[in-house]
Structures are given as structure tokens and as C-alpha cells.
Structure 1
Amino acid sequence: MSEASRPAIEMAGVEKRFGATEALRGLDLAVPTGTVCGLLGPNGAGKTTAVRVLATLIAPDRGAVRVAGHDAVRHPEEVRRAIGLAGQHAALDEGITGRDNLHLFGRLHRLGARRARQRAEELLTRFGLADAGDRLVRTYSGGMRRRLDLIASLVTSPPVLFLDEPTTGLDPRSRLEIWDTVKELADGGTTVLLTTQYLEEADRLADEIVVVDHGAAIATGPPDRLKAAIGSQVSVTLANPDQLASTAVVLSALTGGDAQVDVAERTVTVLTVPGVSVQLPSLVRELDGAGVLAEDVAVRAPSLDDVFLALTKESAAAMGRAA
């Protein structure tokens, strides 16, 4: 593979232990240049450890890691020159202005004083913070702080950007602002690796999703393909709770999936098995033929939340069998 065609971010068989804890267990990852990759997984799955390995903050025990064409183990200093990193907590000095924070980051990255000032102005203007540039960061809203932290990671115009849960704790408006910033970066050719616990965030931003559990990748693909792989969700709300059991039988037979009954809400829900398509008219006919009186019937495409829950449930079951 030529350097020009190599992914911007690569991990192959990466392992990392912290004492008895196996944080990464043969993790494989490949992110093409100029794309956004969403790294998803439950707490403790290994997402942040993966980012720390890629950013050369910790070394892997085994496996190969390359970022922007550089071996992260042999040449960590080259990787650091090629990346930006925004962690879960803003790395800002709240006692100085936003403009001075960016200038400080530029000087720390060995930009000259003039270039550091120039870069600070460029970034403040580009990302809508020019009017707040002379305010102390302690007066910023949470969304403004996160946005400033994100653009501080761009002072050196890195081709690769790591975002570790960049919108945690933000209100919906601030989250949308960060999403717009990430989209703009990706449109400009920056390769972005994004870890997040917000499934909608990954669905909106990522070209490809990698689901990680117990330190290994358990699924990879574009969001739409992952959603299509687990089937549609069928839900029926009943007028008579005595018909829950019979409705579950009808839905299981029609979809091939396992019906979930919620007695309190008088609903039966099931995910169709992959490849099975359920149309609303045929579903209504089947229920009517079984004498089921339904208050509401719905067939909807699966969300990324459904994908995440299904995959991690399977992973946990597999780990239990292997134990």
C-alpha cells in the first residue's frame, strides 16, 4: 500500500493492559483520510484508551499504530506534529481571554509571536468567537468553552483531529454548534476520530462507525448499513392488556424476532430479523385476523441506539459464554 492510499489512522491488533485490566484486546481500526469515524462503546469499552494510544499519550503493549503516515511507537514526535486533540475536559486557562488562550497554544506549538497572533484571529473569526475573543474564558458559556477548546486544537492546522466526547454535558444548542464545527472541519479535509456516548451525534457526523466492546471492535460500517443489519422495529399498543401474550405470538411469527412485552405500557415490541421486511398494512391484517384490538401500530427503521444495544448485548453474551 502506497503512503498516499494509506488510511490517516490505523490500528492493527492493538493490546493494552493496566494491571489485571485488559483495556484493548486486539483492536483494529482504519480511518480513511478526510472522513469522520465515530468510535462508540459502553463505559469501559476502551474508547479513551484507544485515543490515548493514537495520540501517543500511552504506548501499546502489542500491535501496530500509524497516524498521518507515521509509526506512533517509533516516531511519536512526528505523530504529535500531525494531530490535534480535544479531550473530555476543556484545557483552557480561565483567567485569560479566549484570544490569549489561542495565542498561548500557538507559542507552545513553537509558532512565532506574529504567526500565533495571526492564527488566533483566523480561528476566532472562522468559528464565530471573534466578538468574545477579548473576554475572560471564565465568562464563557459551556458551549463557548468547548468550542474554544476544540479550535485551540487546530492552531497548527493538523490533518488529523481526535475528539474525545467533545459535547459531554452541553445543552442541545451548544451541541449543535460543535456539530457544525466538526462538519466544517471534515468538509475541509480534516480526518476526525470522534468518541461519543450520544448515538445521534455519531449518526449525524460519522461517515463510518466502529463499535467497541471489551477492548475490541465488534462492528464496523456506515451508520445506514449497521442499522439495516438489525432490522426494523415493530411496536403495538393494546387496548386490552389480556391480549399481550397473543400479540407477542403474532409479532414473533411475522418478524422472526423475540417479542418484548411491557405490561405497564400495554405494548409489545420486536426487532425483525435481518432480511425480513414488515409492511404496516400486512401487520394490521395479521393483528385483525388474530382478533387483536390495537390502539397504535408502528413500524420504524432502527436507530443507532438500537444497533448499539443489540451489538453490545451480543458481545456481553459472547463474553459470558467464553468465561
Structure 2
Amino acid sequence: MARYRQDASETRRRQRCRPLRNIDYSDRYQQHFTLGSDISTRDRDGIHKTFSGLMKLIYPGGEATQEEIEELLRFAVEGRKRVKDQILRIDTTMAAVNFGYSDKSGTWRGVTTLEEDEYPDYYQARRPEAEGEVEASAEERGSAQAEVAVAAPVAPEVAEPLFEGHREFQENQRGVSYETLLMPYLHGATDITIVDPYIRLPHQGRNLVDLLALLAAAKDPADGIAVTLVTKEDRGEYAQQHLLMLKDIQDSAATVGIQFTVNWDETIHDRSIRTDHGWKLLLGRGLDIFQKGSGSQFDLGSRRQEFRQVFAFGITYINEQEGAR
């Protein structure tokens, strides 16, 4: 009887989905987004079919918000990228493709895979030598390198410019930390403003302390830094604990040369970090990007952020000094 009910349910599901076979949702994303120009026709067809199929399964009526459409589009682009990446490993004649899309404002949103972000050195497998290209012997390479070393003067190291633009991080991704995500843009600043409406719960307070500790470790011990937190006040049953937590953070920060102050603003919603040397970082989730760990004191993730999984989030880096020029 149970098997009969299961078969009957499957039959009804197929009957409901059958009318969708002749419907094409592949263009529904185009009112919001545009695929990268170097994506080939074959790759576009694969993306369109996957996107249309997902729309039929999840939003059969075709009604979806821009955020929901973008989620399905990223999934479809990632699926095609996985296929293309495998082809590139076995066929040197295939050209690499920059998979991603732009929104109506022209902002580029690149699409990567989780394993590519976590293990870039392993994911980017070395491609075979091109046909007809002869690799130099070890002796020849060593001799040529020695000649260059003698003839050419040593050029001074030039720091690479910091990335500007938007980056997306995937659900459950590892290898992310404030040290790599935020500190390159905060280093050298003496006045930093953090706007985050939700620094209330203990884990949110610990996130803030982690960032303050990195700032303290990066500065000269004789120098001071002013850090202002703009947030919303908790006026519920945990209001007292909220104030005590922020006071403890303030007292602790003062011992390492950080003047930490709190400004209340009940109107804020967006999350950002702004520095006095020109950088503005737009944080989709604020500092609360890490998933809850096991809770064990022996969990490595509680000691090193890069061992923890993150929520899906985005961050945009804006150089306001360049914009002023």
C-alpha cells in the first residue's frame, strides 16, 4: 500500500510538471543581469538550460525576486564552469573563460567553485606543454638564470595595489579570516568606523574582539588607534548584558592602545567599515560571517578563523580617495 501511494504521488507530480516542458525561462535573468562577453555560445546554452530547469522546479510560476534569480544564475554558471574547467585540463587548444555576470549598474560578479576558492594552488592544475614547444634542460635554465642575475640589476619590490570591487564567498567555504579579508585595507589607519547594527550576542562580541586584536597586533605599540562602533542598542531583556559586553570590550581595547567608543544609531541597516586613509568596505553580513562551531574548547576553528566554515556573503572594496581624484 505504501508503494502504491508513492507511485501515485510521483504520477501526480509528473502530471503537474508536464505543462512546463514547453515553457522557456532561460531569459528571465536578463532583465537584471548580463553574462560575461567571452562566454561562448555553447557555454551560454548550457547555462540557459540549467537556469531554465531550476526556475521550473523552484519557481514554476516564473515569479522570483532579483535575489532569487541571481542565486539560480550563479548556480547555473558554476555548473557550466565546472564542465569547462575539466575540458581545459585535457585540451590545451581550449581558451580559458572568465565566468561571471554583470548587474545593471555594470558591477562584475565573478563565479568560482568552492574548491577553487579553498585550494587555488591545487585547483589550477598545470596544463601540458603546447605542441611543438621544447622545454629547456635544467642546465640551460640554470645558465640563463645566472646570466640574467649577473646582467640585470635587482629591482626594488613594489607592493601590488589592493583589489577594488566586489567579491562573493560561498556557503561552507573555509580559508577565510579577518586577517586576509579586512586587514590589508585597515593596516595603517588611525581612525576606523565600524557600522554594524547587530553587535549584541556573545559570538558577535567575540568577532569584534578578534578584529580589534588583529588591529592591535599590526600597529606599533607606541601608536594609538581610534575605533568607533556605530550600532543599535538592545532594549530588550538582554539590554544590560549588551552594555556590559561593550564596556568590557572598551576596557580591554584600552590596554592595547585602542580607543574604542560606541555610537548608537537606530536608523542604520547596512554594514560597513570606513578608514581615515580612504578605504570603505561594504559588508553584506557585517562581521558575523562565521558559522557556529562544535562548541568544544578543542575545536581548531575556535582558535583559527580560516578553519571555520562561513555563511554565504559578499564584500565590496571602495577606494574613496581615488574617487575624489
Same-fold status (TM-score > 0.5): no
Greater percentage in strand: 1
TM-score (norm 2): 0.24
Larger relative contact order, structure 1 or 2 (CA cutoff 8 Å, min sep 6): 1
Greater gyration radius: 2
TM-score (norm 1): 0.24
